[in-house]
Copies of this chain bind each other. A is one copy, B any other.
C-alpha cells in the first residue's frame, strides 16, 4: 500500500507500541531484545513497508561509505574511451565495492584547483580519488587545510608535498621498452607522448628518462626529435602521426597513449606500412587491450588492478586516520607479441 509520506522510525514505534530506541535496536541487531518485542517490531516494519533513512544514518554516523572520484569535465568526454583509464576505473570500482564503498562520480567544470575544490567540498563522501587538474599545487594545499582525505590517481607533480598517490615505475617502463628496441638493433626510434599544453605529464617525463637511460647504455646519443608530442584524441593523433611520417621515417615507435596507438595502427593500415616488417611498435597500457589489436601489440604492461587496489587502500587508511604506509611501485613488464621485429639494413623499405 502506497504511503503518502515515507514512514519513519517513529511510525514504526507507534505501530509496534514500543519506543524508537527499541526499533533502532532491532534494526541494528544490537543488545538483546526480547524475541516477542522484536517480532512485533519486525511485523510493524513489514506492515508499513518501512525503510530506514540512509540519509539520517549518514548524518548521524558521519560515514557515507562513498568515495568521490573527481574528474575534469573536459576529461570525461575523451577519457571514457581510453583503455588505460577504463582499466583503472574498473579496478578502482571493484576494489571500492569489495571494501564496502561505492564510487560517486564527480566532475569539475574546469580543470583548475579552485573548480576542483569547489565541487569536492560540496559533496558527501568519506574521501576522494582525484584525477588531477593540470596543475594541482594549490589544490593539494586546500585539501590539506580543509582536512579532507584524498589521493591522486598518479604522480602529478614533483612537489614532495604531494605524496598521496601510488606510482607505477615509469622510468622502468620507458627503459625496458627502449632497451628491447635497441636489442633488436633499432636506432631510429621515436617516442610518442601525450601533449599537455606543450609539455608532458610527470609519468611521461619518467618514461622518457627511462628511455634515455637505455639509449645511454647502448651508446646511442639522445636527440630532442626522438620525443614526439601528439594530442591523445583519435583524430588529432591520426593527424599527428601523419605529420610525423611525412618528414621522418623511424624504424621503431614507442607510443605512450592507447588511443594514439590505435590511431597510429589505423594510419599504418591505411598507408600500407606493415607492422612489424616496416616498423616496430610498442604500446603502453593494459595488456588485454593490446592483445585485442591487430597485429597483437608488444607492450609495456602496468598492473593497474594492483595499483588501483593499493590506491583505495591508501585512501581508506587516510579516512580512518591511520598512519600511511608507503608502497614501492611494482615493476612494469614487457609483453612481447607480434608488433616488434629485428631491424636489418637489408630490410626492404616500401616506396
Interface residue ranges of A223-254 to B (CB < 8 Å) = 234
Range of interface residues on A (Cβ < 8 Å): 35 or more
B121 touches A124 (CB 8 A): no
- This chain's copy number in the assembly: 2
Verify B49–A145 contact, CB threshold 8 A: yes
| In the complex, chain B residues whose CB is within 8 Å of the CB of A131 | none
Residues of A contacting B: mostly: helix
**Which residue of B is nearest A103, CB measured?**
B105
Whether A103 pairs with B104 at a CB distance below 8 angstroms is yes
Residue of B nearest to A4 (CB): B147
Residues of B contacting A30 in the complex (Cβ-Cβ under 8 angstroms): none
Interface string of A1-41 (1 = CB under 8 A from B): 01100100000000000000000000000000000000000
Question: Which residues does chain B contribute within 8 Å of A146, judged by CB atoms?
Answer: 49, 51
CB interface residues, A 82-97, toward B, < 8 Å: 83, 86-87, 89-90, 93-94, 97
Inter-chain contact A97/B107, CB cutoff 8 Å? yes
Q: How far is the CA of A121 from the CA of B49 in the complex (A)?
A: 11
A residues 148-179 touching B (CB-CB < 8 Å): none
For chain A residues 249-273, which have a beta carbon within 8 Å of chain B? 262-263, 265-266, 269-270
Residues of B within 8 A of A106 (CB): 102
Asked if B262 and A292 sit within 8 Å, CB to CB, the answer is yes
A288 to B234, CA, bound (A): 10
The 4 closest A-B pairs by CB, nearest first: A59-B59, A103-B105, A54-B124, A80-B90
